[in-house]
């Protein structure tokens, strides 16, 4: 990134954020609904970014965690009438626990094998939902009549008043960006990026790679579960259709095309992949074809995505007693993954 580009970055972000916040004053309900969808996919992309972007694990089954969160909300809300916003953390916890259980045995698989297994996982989840597992998911019909969220006595319907819902989801998006920005720059975030770059060296520097990978899955799934809650209460009706394999591919593409490991990149990716097709309604049937071509072309000409993370620079390290020079790099015997 050039110096000039770095200089205009902050004002540019401020302008974009201002435009986003002002959108309900200019746009109609349909356009606002599109923006809401962009925000939901941006949230999903950001949560996947923890796993795929920072930790570099090829995870193409994120829709499974999204589904667990959405169904948790739907089942509890329609059965016991618990307000949906109260279920936000619970949906996250359910998805996070589910992720910890399913990811534990597969975490050590090498890149493309993990990809295939996560595809298998999301398909199993979808088939389980269709088969009405535990008798609570409503089979292929799904679950109707989920309440809209309500805040301070005001019902925020994503269908009737997308403008209200817009601010709810925007608030959650802002919260998410803040948390994930802090995470990216935390010790934990650095460790994930290190083990992505060089798992052997990371293991040698005392990073428990298996545990960090699992934690990345847990956090990503926790967040996807919360987004599932927002999604279920937005459209008030969910069915296995909403969580097909294709949804997971879309999330994957948002992260890869936008720029894996980069928050602005993922936001841009969500805007391009969810928002752009709306501008070209006439080309509806060629949309996926173009997607595929763009995907291939991007990998050939710009594999790092449109807005890849800026190279990090760190100040001269002061020895804080923890990361001192006593850890020398270990060889492959540390059990880290060895790339051919």
Q: How far is the CB of 308 from other proteins (least distance, A)?
A: 13
288 makes contact with other proteins (CB under 8 A): yes
Nearer to other proteins, 27 or 249 (CB): 249
Q: How far is the CB of 294 from other proteins (least distance, A)?
A: 7
Nearer to other proteins, 23 or 139 (CB): 139
Beta partners for residue 154, in sequence order: 151
Tokens of residue 119, six digits? 């595809």
Buried b (16+ CB within 10 A) or exposed e, 241-279: ebbeeebbbbbbbbbbbbbbbbbbbbbbbbbbbbbebee
**Interface residues for other proteins in 224-263 (CB under 8 A)?**
245, 249, 252, 256
Binding window for other proteins (CB under 8 A); candidates: 68-76, 77-85, 127-135, 156-164? 127-135
In the list 128, 183, 235, 306, the residue contacting other proteins (rule: CB under 8 A) is: 128
Reported residue count of the chain is 340
Q: Helices marked H in 49-161 — which ranges?
A: 62-80, 87-103, 111-130
120 makes contact with other proteins (CB under 8 A): yes
Q: How far is the CB of 333 from other proteins (least distance, A)?
A: 15
DSSP class per residue in 186-244: SHHHHHHHHHHH-HHHHHHTT--HHHHHHHHHHHHHHHHHHHHHHHHHHHS-B-GGGG-
* Closest CA relative to residue 272, chosen from 297, 247, 306: 306
296 makes contact with other proteins (CB under 8 A): yes
* Closest CA relative to residue 158, chosen from 246, 167, 5, 281: 167
Q: How far is the CB of 121 from other proteins (least distance, A)?
A: 7
Q: How far is the CB of 131 from other proteins (least distance, A)?
A: 5
Q: How far is the CB of 13 from other proteins (least distance, A)?
A: 27
Q: How far is CA 156 from CA 1, 12, 213, 230, 234, in A?
A: 41, 30, 37, 11, 9
Tokens of residue 270, six digits? 């969500």
Q: How far is the CB of 188 from other proteins (least distance, A)?
A: 22
Helix 111-130 and helix 62-80, axial crossing angle in degrees, nearest 10 = 30
303 makes contact with other proteins (CB under 8 A): yes
115 makes contact with other proteins (CB under 8 A): yes
Binding window for other proteins (CB under 8 A); candidates: 36-44, 168-176, 207-215, 295-303? 295-303
Chain residues binding other proteins by CB under 8 A are 56, 58, 105-106, 109-113, 115-117, 119-121, 123-124, 127-128, 130-131, 245, 249, 252, 256, 285-286, 288-289, 291-296, 298-300, 303, 340
């Amino acid at each position: 990134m050039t110096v000039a580009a770095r200089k205009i970055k902050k004002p540019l972000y401020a302008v974009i954020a201002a435009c986003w916040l002002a959108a309900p004053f200019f746009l109609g309900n349909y356009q606002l609904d599109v923006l809401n969808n962009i925000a939901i996919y941006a949230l999903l992309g950001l949560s996947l970014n923890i796993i795929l972007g920072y930790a570099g694990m090829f995870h193409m089954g994120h829709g499974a965690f999204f589904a667990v969160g959405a169904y948790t909300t739907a089942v509890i809300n329609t059965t016991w009438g618990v307000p949906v916003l109260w279920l936000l953390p619970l949906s996250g916890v359910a998805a996070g626990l589910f992720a910890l259980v399913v990811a534990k045995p597969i975490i050590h698989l090498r890149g493309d094998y993990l990809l295939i297994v996560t595809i298998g996982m999301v398909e199993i989840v979808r088939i389980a939902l269709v088969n009405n597992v535990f008798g609570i998911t409503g089979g292929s019909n799904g679950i109707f009549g989920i309440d809209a969220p309500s805040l301070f006595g005001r019902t925020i319907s994503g269908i009737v008043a997308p403008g209200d819902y817009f601010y709810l989801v925007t608030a959650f998006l802002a919260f998410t960006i803040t948390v994930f920005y802090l995470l990216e720059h935390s010790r934990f975030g650095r460790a994930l990026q290190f083990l992505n770059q060089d798992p052997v060296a990371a293991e040698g520097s005392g990073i428990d790679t298996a545990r960090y990978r699992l934690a990345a899955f847990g956090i990503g799934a926790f967040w996807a579960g919360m987004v599932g809650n927002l999604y279920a209460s937005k459209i008030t009706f969910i069915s296995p259709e909403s969580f097909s394999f294709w949804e997971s591919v879309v999330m994957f593409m948002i992260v890869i095309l936008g720029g894996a490991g980069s928050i602005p990149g993922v936001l841009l990716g969500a805007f391009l992949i969810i928002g752009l097709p709306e501008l070209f309604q006439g080309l509806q049937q060629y949309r996926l074809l173009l997607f595929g071509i763009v995907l291939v072309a991007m990998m050939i000409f710009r594999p790092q995505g449109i807005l890849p993370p800026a190279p990090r620079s760190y100040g001269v390290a002061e020895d804080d007693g923890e990361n001192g020079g006593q850890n020398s790099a270990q060889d492959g015997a540390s059990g880290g993954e060895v790339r051919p």
